[in-house]
Amino acid sequence: MKEATKLEAAIVQSEPEVERGAGGRTGHYRWVICALLFFAATINYIDRQVIGILKPTLQEEIGWNEVEYSWIVFSFQAAYALGLLAVGRLMDWLGTRKGFSLAIIFWSVAAMGHALARSVMGFSVARFLLGLGESGSFPASIKTVAEWFPKRERALATGIFNAGTNVGALVTPLIVPVITIAWGWEWAFILTGAIGFLWLVFWLMFYRRPEEHPKLSKAELAHIRSDPPEPAIKIPWVKLFPHRQTWAFALGKFMTDPIWWVYLFWLPDFLNKRHGLGLKDFGLPLVIIYLIADIGSVGGWLSSALIKRGWSINAGRKTAMLVCALCVVPIVFASQTSNLWVAVVLIGLAAAAHQGWSANIFTLVSDTFPRQAVGSVVGIGGMAGAIGGMLIARMVGEILERTGSYVPIFIIAASAYLLALLVIHLLVPRLEPADL
């Protein structure tokens, strides 16, 4: 219980005074829940990224080629896409306490199960199970935020927990080489996978629905439930697909999400093949890339700033997205330079631009759909992005196996965002709301 007290104290100290209300009367327990979601996102990204860090090591030890590795990545993406189809309904049925517990148990066991794999098929099965389990993380977190925060705080809470993905991307290249060098690659999967069970203890200890929580004050519960009641209107998926706004978001995700997956699963290999970095060496370059990527949230700020200056929503969003798309273009030179740190900066700039792009493309949904449909449209787009990830995995594997060069891959990355913006503009030239 001392750990619980320390966690709550840390959240209270970090919470802005304006959110707690005068004298702390509103309460702070919802931020404890947000902290748990942050750590879940961190663990989620650690578990999915381990194989990318270990790719050169495993490729040498087990002997798979580039095409075989692409099938392993494909398995994760396929399961992730399939999981997004059903996991939302599962969370609604089980509730977030049970649903999130089931998801993290499932993916943690799958993550640890990689240690038993000795073939392409073994790793593919482990990755498929990992993708299936990890598909529950984001829907469960969004549902938890909706249960524990009033609308005016949900964007902040979502931003805080989503920051855990960047922390996971930063931590993995630091801890996985240390574990691998000390005890072997099997233990890298076992120890990182086991972290999920530690999180589960705190989740079961702290989480209940707000109405059932013994530590939640009446004042904070009233704050959480302070939004005016909404009509319970359900908009079926079938009514969303005919709209150009749905396809603009889905195709934008389909064309650009795969680039982020390439960073996660192939950057260590690129640094190994192009710059000769081994397991002991590429931790710092990867950390710097993801630190630069954290700055990408400025892309979301830019569109808001332009709109506040009198720009239309259409002009503000698309201008910010154009800036982000242009910042990705120089990545094509990262595959050609012989200077490691020039390549790191160029890839970091592209990763930061992706983060800014993501902030804006998600906002397009709330710009064009009523709140009752936002979750469904985001789910459709997430599935489209995962399908794009499946295809890029196979494409990258074939390119590397046939050419051994990352130049075509970075050309694809450099052009993807500009092409996606063109498609979005052609489908919704004025960002008008969908007529539902």
Every domain of the chain and the residues it spans: 25-228, 237-436
- Residue for token pair 């449209």: 377
Question: Identical fold at 25-228 and 237-436?
Answer: yes
Return the amino acid letter for 362: F
Identify which has the larger pLDDT, 210 or 271. 271
Helix 407-427 to helix 313-328 angle, to the nearest 10 degrees?
170
Local confidence band at 4 (pLDDT 50, 70, 90 cut-offs): very low
Q: Per-residue pLDDT for 15 more than 50?
A: no
Give the rounded percent of residues in the chain with a pLDDT score beyond 90: 55
Q: How far apart are the first and last CA of the chain?
A: 50
What pLDDT is recorded for position 16?
39
Q: What is the pLDDT of residues 243-270, one digit of tens each?
A: 999 999 999 999 999 999 999 999 999 9
Which residues have CB under 8 Å from 118's CB, separation 6+? 62
Task: Write a three-state SS string for the chain.
Answer: CHHHHHHHHHHHHHCCHHHHCHHHCCCCHHHHHHHHHHHHHHHHHHHHHHHHHHHHHHHHHHCCCHHHHHHHHHHHHHHHHHHHHHHHHHHHHHCHHHHHHHHHHHHHHHHHHHHHCCCHHHHHHHHHHHHHHHCCHHHHHHHHHHHHCCHHHHHHHHHHHHHHHHHHHHHHHHHHHHHHHHHCHHHHHHHHHHHHHHHHHHHHHHCCCHHHCCCCCHHHHHHHCCCCCCCCCCCCHHHCCCCHHHHHHHHHHHHHHHHHHHHHHHHHHHHHHHHCCCCCCCHHHHHHHHHHHHHHHHHHHHHHHHHHCCCCHHHHHHHHHHHHHHHHHHHHHHHCCCCHHHHHHHHHHHHHHHHHHHHHHHHHHHHHCCHHHHHHHHHHHHHHHHHHHHHHHHHHHHHHHHHCCCHHHHHHHHHHHHHHHHHHHHHCCCCCCCCC
For residues 51-69, average pLDDT: 91
Distance CA 292, CA 348 (A): 5
348-369 residue pLDDT tens: 999 999 988 988 887 788 788 8
Among 157-161, 410-414, 429-433, the range with the most confident prediction by mean pLDDT is 410-414
Residue 295's contacts (CB-CB under 8 Å, 6 or more residues apart) are 352, 355
Minimum mean pLDDT range among 125-129, 155-159, 177-181: 155-159
Predicted local distance difference test score (pLDDT) of residue 298: 60
Reported confidence tier of residue 22, pLDDT bands at 50, 70, 90? very low
% residues pLDDT > 70 (the chain): 91
Residue 12 reports pLDDT greater than 60 = no
Q: What is the CATH number of domain 237-436?
A: 1.20.1250.20
Mean pLDDT, rounded, for 16-31: 58
Q: How far is CA 134 from CA 128, 256, 430, in A?
A: 10, 20, 36
Q: Residues 288-345: pLDDT tens digits?
A: 998 898 787 665 678 878 888 999 889 988 999 999 999 999 999 999 999 999 999 9
Instruction: Convert the pLDDT of each residue in 25-51 to its tens digit.
Output: 677 888 899 999 999 999 999 999 999
Q: Residue 232: pLDDT band by 50, 70, 90 thresholds?
A: low
Q: What topology is assigned to 25-228 in CATH? A: Growth Hormone; Chain: A; (1.20.1250)
Give the Cβ contact number of residue 371 at 10 Å.
Answer: 11
pLDDT of residue 401: 93
| 19 pLDDT above the threshold of 50 | no
**Looking at residue 28, what is its pLDDT?**
83
pLDDT at 1 exceeding the cut of 60: no
Q: What is the largest CA-CA distance in the chain?
A: 66
pLDDT at position 325 is 96
